Amino acid sequence: MGVDHRKAAVFGGALALRLLLSVLFPSLPDLLTGRVEVSTPVTSFKRLQEGLFLYMRNVSPYDGGVFHQAPLLLPLFSLLPNAQSHPIPTAVFYSLVDLVNANALVTISDSGQAVSGRFYSALRKHIRWDGVSIAAWFLFNPFTIATCLGRSTGVFTTTGILYSFSSAVTGNSLNAMLSLGLASYLSIYPALLFIPLVLLCYDQRVQKAKVSSGALPFALQHFAVFLTCIAGLLGISTLLIGDFYSFISATYGVQLLVPDLTPNVGLWWYFFIEIFDSFREFFLGVFWLHLAAYMGGLTVRLRRQPLFVLTSLLGIFAIFKPYPSISDASLYFALLPLYRHLFPLMRYTFFAISALLYATLLGPAFYHLWIYAGSGNANFFYAITLVWSLGLSILLADTIFAALRDEWEYDNPELRGKEVRQV
């Protein structure tokens, strides 16, 4: 097999850019690590370093109440030199993880599942970008670069999610479940992707085998694999830490109950600062129910496009999960170019992009006015996060409209291009 020179150039350029920024601007990684847009309480590299410090001295990393990440990250990072005195190995490691994620995107794109599946083939499937172009969009996205330089541990969740997708579209359903199990172990929310992912795996199985086996037994078998993977990782974590309850409450308990209200680009922190404690449990339930409710509706309505359902859910997570960051947005943006054929049907792209750029440029300024200049308050920063969420919401709703419109034209070819009017 010959070397793809275009792919090698893109990957090499992305690696060189990351290392060059780390070398030329040695203070940049620490600056980005401290930014609330890049790091959250559950993905912060500084908090990981705190946990690693305790772990290396045989003290439970969860004793300090600062570390809220998966235990298996600790032995992994203990193999690397100290990031303060030797930053390059850590920079190389994160850069390579980005390249691994980009390679998964190439596999997803080359499978063609975004434009043609078991039940559906897009009318505009000839309008598409190849896998290398999509990988380049991901690798040179400023949000992806900032996440890499900021050393957010969210990149490992991204790896699990993307490899679950790439395994599913290539028919390797077992690896898809194992990858999703790893992502769910690192962060709870990827578990909500199970149903559309298993539907994607089932469609691939039927397309390849040309025989329709039972969907329910298939789903149950893969659910068992998914649970076994998570149980195995939790078991290894217990052997590593020793106290099962301490790391469960410090990792998953923090994500579920949201006790740490450090500002971020999400919608939860300000709301839970303001409400009375007596209503906290009720609104926690409402917020989590709201986040999970989209899975069922999107899966049922867009059953013929399970990969698009997965992409849309990632967009929803980037808006409504408790501790979002630009890492979540960069993952959603990485998958959007797969749906180049839907772009002609979108109506509000300009408004969505304008709102996102507005929030991206003014967000750091508003945070500075609040925290450092003292000339603003929390409303300054929360207002700009609302604009950010609005931009993502417009973009998400517009892509879903475009997908539904494309399906409608597929079912009614005689009405292609006609205006839809509600009567």
Assigned domain for 420 exists: no
8 neighbors 99 (Cβ within 8 angstroms): no
**The predicted structure's pLDDT at residue 210:** 65
- Taking only the tens place, the pLDDT of each residue in 277-302 is 889 999 999 999 999 999 999 999 99
414 CB neighbour count, 10 Å cutoff: 6
pLDDT at 47 over 60: yes
pLDDT at 421 over 80: no
**The predicted structure's pLDDT at residue 3:** 65
Look up the pTM and report it.
0.94
Assigned domain for 149 exists: yes
**The predicted structure's pLDDT at residue 212:** 64
Assigned domain for 248 exists: yes
406 neighbors 123 (Cβ within 8 angstroms): yes
Report the range of poorest mean pLDDT among 36-40, 44-48, 120-124, 378-382. 120-124
- Taking only the tens place, the pLDDT of each residue in 147-196 is 999 999 999 999 999 999 999 999 899 999 999 999 999 999 999 999 99
Instruction: Return the SS3 of 155.
Output: helix
- Taking only the tens place, the pLDDT of each residue in 57-93 is 888 899 878 899 999 999 999 999 988 888 999 999 9
**The predicted structure's pLDDT at residue 207:** 83
- Taking only the tens place, the pLDDT of each residue in 118-158 is 888 888 888 889 999 999 999 999 999 999 999 999 999 99
Task: List the Cα angle 378/384/390 in 5-degree steps.
Answer: 135
Assigned domain for 326 exists: yes
Query: Confidence class of residue 1 from pLDDT cuts 50, 70 and 90?
Result: very low
Instruction: Return the SS3 of 116.
Output: strand
Assigned domain for 285 exists: yes
CA atoms within 13 A on the CB side of 217: 3
Assigned domain for 35 exists: yes
Assigned domain for 421 exists: no
196 CB neighbour count, 10 Å cutoff: 24
Question: What's the chain's average pLDDT?
Answer: 91
**The predicted structure's pLDDT at residue 124:** 83
**The predicted structure's pLDDT at residue 409:** 86
Q: How many domains does one find in the chain?
A: 1
Average pLDDT over residues 345-349: 92
**The predicted structure's pLDDT at residue 283:** 92
CA atoms of 405 and 391, how far apart (whole Å): 21
Name the residue range of residue 48's domain.
3-413
Assigned domain for 422 exists: no
Cβ neighbors of 21 (< 8 A, separation 6 or more) are 28, 145, 149
